[in-house]
Amino acid sequence: MTTSADTHCPYCALQCAMTLTSPTGLAPASQPGPVPVSAPPAAKHEAPQAPTHVPLTVQGRDFPTNRGGLCRKGWTSPSLLNHAGRITEPLLKGPDGVHRPISWEQALDLAVAAVKDARARHGADAVGVFGGGGLTNEKAYMLGKFARLALGTSRIDYNGRFCMSSAAAAGMRAFGVDRGLPFPLESLDTASTILMLGSNVAETMPPFVQHLKGTRDAGGLIVVDPRRSATAAFTADGGGLHLQPLPGTDLALLLGISHVVIHENLVDTSYLEERTSGYSAVARSVNSFWPERVQSLTGVPAELIRETARRLAAGARQGGSYILTGRGVEQHVDGTDTATAAINLSLLLGLPGSARSGYGTLTGQGNGQGGREHGQKADQLPGYRKITDPAARAHVAGVWGVPEELIPGPGLPAVQLLQSLGKPDGVRCLFVHASNIAVASPDANAVIQGLRSLDFLMVCDFFMSETAVEADLILPVLQWAEEEGTLTNLEGRVLRRRRALAPPPGARSELWIMARLAEALDAPSTYSEDPETVFEELRLASAGGLADYSGIDYAMLDRGEAAYWPYPAGSTGTPRLFQDAFAHADGKAVMVPVTPRRRRTPAAPPAGDGTTAKTMTLITGRLLEHYQSGAQTRRVPELLAAQPEAQVQIHPAAAASMGITEGALVSVANERGEVVCRAQLSNAIRPETVFLPFHFPELESANRLTEAATDPISGMPEFKFNTVWVRPVAVPLSTNVLQTTEAS
């Protein structure tokens, strides 16, 4: 009997709609049974028994974001559901470093003992929690509550700090609210001009490009990227413009475009007067950024800067103009200011809140939007409430049924949290849910050392990620198709994830795990393991907050109703924000003047071993086939075959000057570490810059090179601008880490 379930892709924030089908019928939903007592030890990394192979397939489903389309990752996503490498039993690391199965009862006892021990010896803040933007709203909400009430710690943050935080901070500062796209994605379809800064949707959200087609056909797509990325390539043949700045100079570029807008009288003066404050300070701040000067700072020809300003202004008057930012401009120590400059430009032109124009940031992870709203951020409580706001604390304490003083204050943002691992006054016992920090964090070598210096590391995952390898205790959890829940896509639209399969008998839901641990820790309040019950509580906790979900329920989502937050009870939600007012008390958007700060002078390469190393700029990012740290996609045979290893993209002229040929081994190093991988010669990159994807571990891990420097406002790390020394190497790769990853 063939059975199908309508759901959404487990990976990115586009949340493409898909139907999951099993020709043998979808297994019935199973409840976690009684906790088994002890299991025989087995000296194995991966759990011995694999679930029976069910030939699962997915089909794209018509939905406004993907219109039936899926990318390669989406198509192959079911293959991980019954992958042989799936962890299906709790695993404890022995003194010999080998993980062996233990019972759930033993596992929970160990976790509780570790928490109690850390608390007794070092205080409640010695226990830390690291969450992820892939968690459902229900799990993200419960993780925040669990950390603060059951563990009593302020030390919770998540990988969204690496991803969303700068644009979020800029959006909060300017608009008083942060919803990645404050308009439905379909609005882009009819725009005459779209300026995309540091976003490569053609690889990171392939079905998205359908929404760029109209603008491209009209010649109005403008892409800002130091590489001629797949998205930048769309601007060829009359599709629009590609601006190829030096990495890290987007802020100056945006000030240059704003300069032209002001000096050519392209500003929307009545909009500025009625809907914004702070214009004159911003006008003064761009004064010295005339196009020729900006050309010398960024490498972008002055004429292209002028042309961009004029096209945006023309679009604002007719057809619509949108400005969109991605990680390329946000993952910098000045990411908040750069996003602010993009917002200021959009305000000068009167885009935000107008019927057919706007500014937005392209949220990345599956639940990158919802994941930042419900309390796993160090400084936030559910409903996007500030943890320092007395009224917000009182509201949430009321929903939780606890005295307000029981809720700890703000914790540490992700990078600082990771830097505190194992330190005397830092985190000594860490729980990781849905992040592979050993690969995805800046200065990954230091993070791995931090993980190793912990008294206790617990990782919840379904695969032996590079972070799980470091764990004392690994708890096997459910994959997407085995759980119920909701996610909020890049448009701020809440979607249902549906259970289609029974999980392997040994895996448990994270809600179940938190409920059991909270019980054993005698935690105040309640910890339901039922997603819908948790969502009902989240509705109450979010009511009246910026991200208000109180009018949303499972039944309406199951009927396919579009639910864009804020969605207060009794309303019909908000597909398009800011039509009448911004979220500040006076209803106006705030323009904040920003200017580039001077960057650190790079260290010279160490004197040599006979080869000449060249000092270059490293940018990092994504390939179509792999997702994030690669913990999932490196286990999909088709994806691994297409992109089996990291390659460093380098301009042929730069390569030639060092004697590097296509496919040659190259060392990319700096004071933090070294990557050795093959060279991919390409005219698509600027000659002083090299590009590495961050999807690979160990010797190919780009984050061995990135600096843990952060934006002072958002805490977002510098992933996209680092100094490296590049040279050819003669030695072969010592171990090919990719080949040792287990096959499917």
Residues in touch with ligand SF4 (CB under 6 A): 9, 11-12, 14-16, 66, 70-71, 73-74, 205-207
Residue with tokens 């107008």: 354
Asked if 327 interacts with ligand MGD (CB under 6 A), we say yes
Site for ligand MGD in 402-421 (CB under 6 A): none
Which of 131/358 has CB closer to ligand MGD?
131
Structure tokens at 33: 């049974």
Q: Which does 63 bind (CB under 5 to 8 A by kind): ligand SF4, ligand MGD, Mo ion, none?
A: none
Site for ligand MGD in 632-671 (CB under 6 A): 632
Distance between CA atoms of 554 and 557, rounded to whole angstroms?
5
If phi > 0 it is left, if psi is from -120 to 50 it is alpha, else beta; for residue 663 that is left
Site for Mo ion in 152-211 (CB under 5 A): 163
Q: Is 543 exposed, middle or buried (0-12, 13-18, 19+ CB in 10 A)?
A: middle
Asked if 465 interacts with ligand MGD (CB under 6 A), we say yes
Q: From residue 359 to residue 378, what is the string marking binding to Mo ion with x (rule CB under 5 A)?
A: -----x--------------
Which of 417/513 has CB closer to Mo ion?
417
| Binding window for ligand MGD (CB under 6 A); candidates: 182-190, 389-397, 416-424, 622-630 | 622-630
Distance between CA atoms of 721 and 461, rounded to whole angstroms?
31
For 674, the enclosing helix (H) or strand (E) is strand 673-681
Closest CA to 741 of 679, 675, 697: 697
Which of 163/253 has CB closer to Mo ion?
163
Radius of gyration of the chain (CA): 25
Q: How far is the CB of 73 from ligand SF4 (least distance, A)?
A: 4
Distance between CA atoms of 193 and 324, rounded to whole angstroms?
11
Structure tokens at 239: 């599709």
| Binding window for ligand MGD (CB under 6 A); candidates: 195-203, 290-298, 577-585, 641-649 | 195-203
Distance between CA atoms of 164 and 185, rounded to whole angstroms?
18
User: Hey, what amino acid is at 662?
Assistant: E
| Binding window for ligand MGD (CB under 6 A); candidates: 301-309, 550-558, 623-631, 640-648 | 623-631
Which of 51/366 has CB closer to Mo ion?
366
Closest CA to 487 of 476, 498, 502: 498
For 520, the enclosing helix (H) or strand (E) is helix 510-520
Q: How far is the CB of 669 from ligand MGD (least distance, A)?
A: 15
Which of 89, 250, 472, 707 binds ligand MGD (CB under 6 A)? It is 250
Q: How far is the CB of 622 from ligand SF4 (least distance, A)?
A: 11
Distance between CA atoms of 87 and 101, rounded to whole angstroms?
10
Closest CA to 627 of 618, 616, 636, 619: 636
Which of 295/354 has CB closer to ligand MGD?
295
Which of 268/700 has CB closer to ligand MGD?
700
Which of 124/209 has CB closer to ligand SF4?
209
Asked if 345 interacts with ligand MGD (CB under 6 A), we say no
Q: How far is the CB of 204 from ligand SF4 (least distance, A)?
A: 8
Q: Is 488 exposed, middle or buried (0-12, 13-18, 19+ CB in 10 A)?
A: buried
Which residues contact residue 421 at a Cβ distance below 8 angstroms, ignoring those fewer than 6 apart? Answer: 128, 427, 430, 447, 450, 451, 453, 454
Q: Would you say the C-alpha torsion 291, 295, 298, 301 has a positive or negative sign?
A: positive
Q: How far is the CB of 246 from ligand SF4 (least distance, A)?
A: 29
Which of 263/599 has CB closer to ligand MGD?
599
DSSP for 563-606, please give it: -BSP--TTS---SS--SS--SSTTSPEEP----PPPPPPPPPPP
Asked if 200 interacts with ligand MGD (CB under 6 A), we say yes
Residue with tokens 């909009």: 271
Residues 702 and 710: beta-carbon distance below 8 Å: no
Q: Which does 582 bind (CB under 5 to 8 A by kind): ligand MGD, ligand SF4, Mo ion, none?
A: none
Contacts with ligand MGD: how many residues (CB under 6 A)? Answer: 62
Q: How far is the CB of 133 from ligand SF4 (least distance, A)?
A: 13
Q: How far is the CB of 75 from ligand MGD (least distance, A)?
A: 13
Residues 264 and 314: beta-carbon distance below 8 Å: no
Asked if 248 interacts with ligand MGD (CB under 6 A), we say yes
Which of 364/375 has CB closer to Mo ion?
364
Which of 205/253 has CB closer to ligand SF4?
205
Q: Give the CA distances from residue 664 to residues 192, 341, 609, 610, in Å, rounded to whole numbers and listed in that order.
A: 44, 40, 18, 17
Which of 548/718 has CB closer to ligand MGD?
718
Q: Which does 174 bind (CB under 5 to 8 A by kind): Mo ion, ligand MGD, ligand SF4, none?
A: none
Which of 321, 629, 643, 649 binds ligand MGD (CB under 6 A)? It is 629
Which of 218, 347, 446, 477 binds ligand MGD (CB under 6 A)? It is 477
Which of 364/411 has CB closer to Mo ion?
364
**Interface contacts to ligand MGD, rule CB under 6 A:** 12, 132-135, 159, 162-163, 197-201, 203-205, 224-227, 229, 247-248, 250, 326-329, 331, 364-365, 433-436, 439-440, 460-463, 465, 477, 510, 619-622, 624, 626-629, 631-632, 694, 702-703, 706, 719-721
